[in-house]
Amino acid sequence: MYFFLGNLSCLEICYSSTILPRLLASLLTGDRAVSVPGCIVQLYLFGSLAGTECCLLSVMCYDRYLAICKPLHYAALMNGRLCLQLEAGLWIGGFLFVSIFVFLMSQLTFCGPSEIDHFFCDFRPIIKLSCTDTHMVEITSFMSSSLFTLPPFLLTLASYVCIISSILRIPSTTGRKKAFSTCSSHLIVVTIFYGTLIMVYLVSDVYVVPTANTPKALHRTFSVFYIVLTPLINPVICCLRNKEVQESLRKGTRKVVAFRKQLA
């Protein structure tokens, strides 16, 4: 669990760092210009890390499934070697597969208006500026986004159906609460991540259901949720429910209070 949480933290630091530094620089300096190669690179990093996070959340759910539904086999099934193989596969697969459609994006010609109607280089705002045929790029984008969202989502959903059914079969109330507490943080993180993702890419007109009447400001607002707010609150959700972290915070607070008293 801690191994996967560490990878999730690292991934979300990289995930936010692909967009926020450039956005903050634009807000502070007023320079909003970005080159086409720079925009393509940002799209590549953003898409790769977003796809990797979808798969990582499903792997974390599978880890919780083994811990609750097969506790006696957990140590044998989810060993250190398998964890390393899963993580390496997720990161390598995410960056390799997205590179196919990003390569096709780099072959497009942009001759229209040079202003992106977004605060970062997302797929749909960039594709609207192209004056060449984008049919193949859109098909490839749809296939890659479907591959990295639909199977992990279905695996997560199936795992939680098994987890909840197993928890409900536990006879004691204390046992049910203890079992549910081991996966409640992950369930909250998954709900927030997929909830904001669905609002942006299904409701707000990007990949699956294009609707021209969707307010663009709404799209940008929900984009802020999954780019900024979700990585910001995930450590709070995952850590503050952990007894070891709570105890470390108490010790740290006591040390700070004692230090201030010494200074006074």
pLDDT in tens, 231-256: 887 777 776 666 677 777 788 888 88
The answer to whether 222 and 139 have CB atoms below 8 angstroms apart is no
pLDDT in tens, 26-61: 888 888 888 888 888 888 898 888 888 888 989 988
pLDDT for the residue numbered 242: 65
pLDDT of 210 above 50: no
Q: Which residue has the higher pLDDT, 193 or 246?
A: 193
pLDDT for the residue numbered 100: 84
Q: What one-character DSSP code corresponds to residue 213?
A: T
> Which two three-digit tokens encode residue 166?
């197993």
Q: What one-character DSSP code corresponds to residue 28?
A: H
Q: What is the largest CA-CA distance in the chain?
A: 71
Question: DSSP readout, 81-143?
Answer: HHHHHHHHHHHHHHHHHHHHHHHHHHT--B-S----SSSS--HHHHHTTB-S--HHHHHHHHH
Highest mean pLDDT among 68-77, 127-136, 139-148, 216-225: 68-77
pLDDT of 204 above 50: no
Rounded to the nearest integer, the mean pLDDT of the chain is 80
pTM: 0.80
pLDDT for the residue numbered 150: 84
The answer to whether 188 and 233 have CB atoms below 8 angstroms apart is no
pLDDT for the residue numbered 173: 82
Q: Which residue has the higher pLDDT, 247 or 217?
A: 247
pLDDT of 215 above 70: no
> Which two three-digit tokens encode residue 230?
């979700």
Instruction: Tell me the pLDDT band of 209, cut-offs 50, 70 and 90.
Output: very low
pLDDT for the residue numbered 216: 61
The label of the residue with tokens 């979300």 reads 12
pLDDT of 205 above 50: no
In the chain, the amino acid numbered 101 is: F
CA dist 89 and 82 (Å) reads 10
pLDDT of 211 above 60: no
Q: What would the mean pLDDT of 120-147 be, rounded to a whole number?
A: 81
Task: Please give the domain boundaries of the chain with CATH numbers for all domains.
Answer: 2-263 (1.20.1070.10)
Angle made by CA atoms 89, 90, 94, in degrees to the nearest 5: 115
Instruction: Tell me the pLDDT band of 218, cut-offs 50, 70 and 90.
Output: low
pLDDT for the residue numbered 5: 82
Q: Is the dihedral of CA 94, 95, 100, 101 positive or negative?
A: positive
Angle between helices 173-198 and 135-168 (to 10 degrees): 170
pLDDT in tens, 74-128: 888 888 888 889 889 988 988 888 888 888 888 888 876 777 877 788 777 788 8
pLDDT in tens, 153-164: 888 889 889 988
pLDDT for the residue numbered 206: 42
The label of the residue with tokens 């692909």 reads 18
Q: Is the dihedral of CA 131, 136, 138, 144 positive or negative?
A: negative
